[in-house]
Amino acid sequence: MPGDAADALERAQVDASCRVPVMLFFASAVFWLVVGTLFGLIASYKLHNPLFIIELSPWLSSLLEKFSPAGTVELINASLTFGRIRPAHLNAVAYGWAAPVGLGVAVWLMARLCRVPLRFPLLVSAAGVLWNIGMFVGIGVLLSGGSTSIEWLEFPPFVSFILFLSFALISIWAVDMFVHRKPGHVYVSQWYIMAALFWFPWLYGTANMLIQLIPAQGSVQAIVNWWYGHNALGLWFTPLGLAAAYYMIPKVIGRPVYSYYLSAFGFWALALFYSWNGGHHLIGGPLPAWLITSSIVASVMMVIPVVVTAINHHMTMKGNFQVLRYSPTLRFVVFGAMSYTLASLQGSSMAFRDLNTVTHFTHYTIGHSHLGLYAFYTMIMFGCIYYIVPRLLGREWVSARLIKIHFWTCAYGIVAMVLILSVGGVIQG
C-alpha cells in the first residue's frame, strides 16, 4: 500500500474509534451550551429588571397545576430567581459545555497524536455518561436552592464527587493512551492536554476538600475559592484551548508551527506562572499584602507565555491569512487565538491595583470572563467541532452558509457584548 493511502487508512481508523465517545461529549456539551445560555439570558435580564418573569403566567400556572405534582409551579417560580439562575448559568456553561467539549476534543487529539485507535472507548463513554448524570443532578440541586454559595464550586459535595470520578477515569485513560502511543516525538498539544488532565482533578479534588470536607475558615476560604476559580480557567480551559490551536492552525494551513521552541517555552512558562494568579481576585480583601502582591507579579509575568504564543500563532499564519476565506475551522480558531492574547493581556492589566480599584465588582470583569471563556475558548472549540465531526461521521456539514452565519453572529455578538460590558463597567466603577 502506498504511503499516503496507509496514512489515510490509519487516520480513518483512529477517527472511527473515537466516533461514539467524542460525539457523546460534543452532543451533550451543545445541549448544555443552549441550556446555559438560556439561563444566562434570564439571569442577565433579571439583574436589570428583577420583575421579569417573577412568576409564570396564570394560564401556564393553571395548565401545570392540572398536569404536574403539587408544588411544581412554586418550584419553577423559585428556580427563576436571580440567586438560583445565575449559578445555574455559570455551572451549566463551565461544567456542562466547556468541560465536556474540551474533553471531546482532547480525546480525539490524543488518539490522533498518539497515532493509535482509541483504547477503552467504553470507559471514555461511561465517563461521559457519568459526567452528564452529575450535571443533571447538580443543576437540579442549584435550581431547587441547594447551592453551596461558593462561586465556581456551587455543586454540593456528592455532585462534585461524581464529576471528579468521571474526570479521573479520563485522566487514567489518557495515561494509558500515552503509554501505548506510537514511538516518536511528543507534540506540544499532547503536553498541554496531559497537563490539563493532570491538573484539573488535583485542583478540583483539593478545592472541594478544603471547602466542603474540612472547610478552611474565614478569609482563607476565599483564597482557596479563587485559587481554584482562576486555575479552572488557567490550568484547565486555557491548556485545552491552546492544545487545539497548536494543532488546528498548522494542520489546516499545512505549515508547521513557526517556532516549535517558542511553543515548548510557552507551555513551561504557563505551567510556572498561571497557578499563582488566583489571588488577584481578592485585591482589597483582608489578606496578607505579600500574598496579593505575589499574585499580581505572577499575573504580569503571564505576559511572557501569552506574547510568546501570540507571536508564534501570528508568524505561523503570516502569508496564509487568505485561507481564512476558505476554512471554517481556521476562522473560528484564529478568532479564538487572537482573543486569547487580548483576554490574557487584559487580565494582566486588571491585576494592577489602580485599575482593579475601578473595575472590581463591575461589569468590566464579566466582560473579561466572557472574552476568555467565549471569544477565546468557545470559538476555538467551535472550530474544532467543524473539523472533527465530518471526520468522525464520514459526512460533510450540510450548509456552508449556516457555518458563515454561525461565525459572524458569534463574532459580532461577543465583540458587542465585551465592548459594552467593558465601557459600562468603567462607568460603574
Partner 1 sequence: MSFYYILMLASMVILGGSAVYALYWAATRGQFSRMEQGAKVIFDQGEPVGKVTDTFPGLDMEKEQKRRAEKGKKTLKRKV
261 is a contact residue toward partner 1 (CB under 8 A): yes
Please give the Cα distance from 134 to 111 (Å, whole number): 26
178 is a contact residue toward partner 1 (CB under 8 A): no
Other beta carbons within 10 Å of 216: 15
52 is a contact residue toward partner 1 (CB under 8 A): no
Which of 94-102, 125-133, 164-172, 200-208 is the region at the interface with partner 1 (rule: CB under 8 A)? 200-208
Of the candidate residues 61, 77, 81, 206, the single one contacting partner 1 (CB under 8 A): 206
By rule CB under 8 A, what string of x and - marks binding of each residue 26-45 to partner 1? Answer: --------------------
209 is a contact residue toward partner 1 (CB under 8 A): yes
270 is a contact residue toward partner 1 (CB under 8 A): no
4 is a contact residue toward partner 1 (CB under 8 A): yes
- How many degrees, rounded to 5, is the angle at CA 278 between CA 277 and CA 282? 120
At 157, list the grid cell: 459535595
Quickly list DSSP for 273-291: HGGGGGGGGGTTSSS-HHH
**Residue 225, burial from CB neighbour count under 10 angstroms (0-12, 13-18, 19+):** buried
Closest to partner 1 by CB, 288 vs 319, is 319
Question: Quick check: 348 and 303 in contact, CB under 8 A?
Answer: yes
387 is a contact residue toward partner 1 (CB under 8 A): yes
Quickly list DSSP for 59-101: HHHHHHHHHS-TTHHHHHHHHTSHHHHHHHHHHIIIIIIIHHH
Kindly report the backbone phi and psi dihedral angles of residue 68, in degrees, each rounded to the nearest multiple of 5, phi listed first: -130, 165
202 is a contact residue toward partner 1 (CB under 8 A): yes
Kindly report the backbone phi and psi dihedral angles of residue 8, in degrees, each rounded to the nearest multiple of 5, phi listed first: -65, -40
Task: Give least dist CB 398 to partner 1, A.
Answer: 7
Within residues 301-320, the interface with partner 1 by CB under 8 A covers: 318-320
Task: Give least dist CB 255 to partner 1, A.
Answer: 5
Of the candidate residues 41, 54, 186, 416, the single one contacting partner 1 (CB under 8 A): 186
Within residues 57-116, the interface with partner 1 by CB under 8 A covers: 113
At 34, list the grid cell: 443552549
Please give the Cα distance from 125 to 122 (Å, whole number): 5
Closest to partner 1 by CB, 25 vs 332, is 332
Residue 425: CA count within 13 A, CB half-sphere: 22
Closest to partner 1 by CB, 36 vs 266, is 266
Task: Give least dist CB 210 to partner 1, A.
Answer: 8
Which of 80-88, 153-161, 365-373, 400-408 is the region at the interface with partner 1 (rule: CB under 8 A)? 400-408
Please give the Cα distance from 250 to 257 (Å, whole number): 6
11 is a contact residue toward partner 1 (CB under 8 A): yes
Please give the Cα distance from 425 to 429 (Å, whole number): 6
13 is a contact residue toward partner 1 (CB under 8 A): no
Of the candidate residues 251, 301, 304, 349, the single one contacting partner 1 (CB under 8 A): 251
How many residues bind partner 1 (CB under 8 A)? The answer is 59
Which of 47-55, 145-153, 210-218, 335-343 is the region at the interface with partner 1 (rule: CB under 8 A)? 210-218
213 is a contact residue toward partner 1 (CB under 8 A): yes
3-state secondary structure of 107: helix
Closest to partner 1 by CB, 122 vs 213, is 213
329 is a contact residue toward partner 1 (CB under 8 A): yes
Closest to partner 1 by CB, 119 vs 255, is 255
**What CA–CA distances, in Å, run from 124 to 97, 241, 341?**
17, 20, 32
Question: Quick check: 25 and 101 in contact, CB under 8 A?
Answer: yes
Question: Quick check: 419 and 342 in contact, CB under 8 A?
Answer: no
**Can you give the binding site for partner 1, defined by CB under 8 A?**
2-8, 10-11, 113, 184-188, 198-199, 202, 205-206, 209-210, 213-214, 247, 250-257, 260-261, 263-264, 268, 271, 318-320, 322-323, 326-330, 386-387, 390, 396-400, 403-404
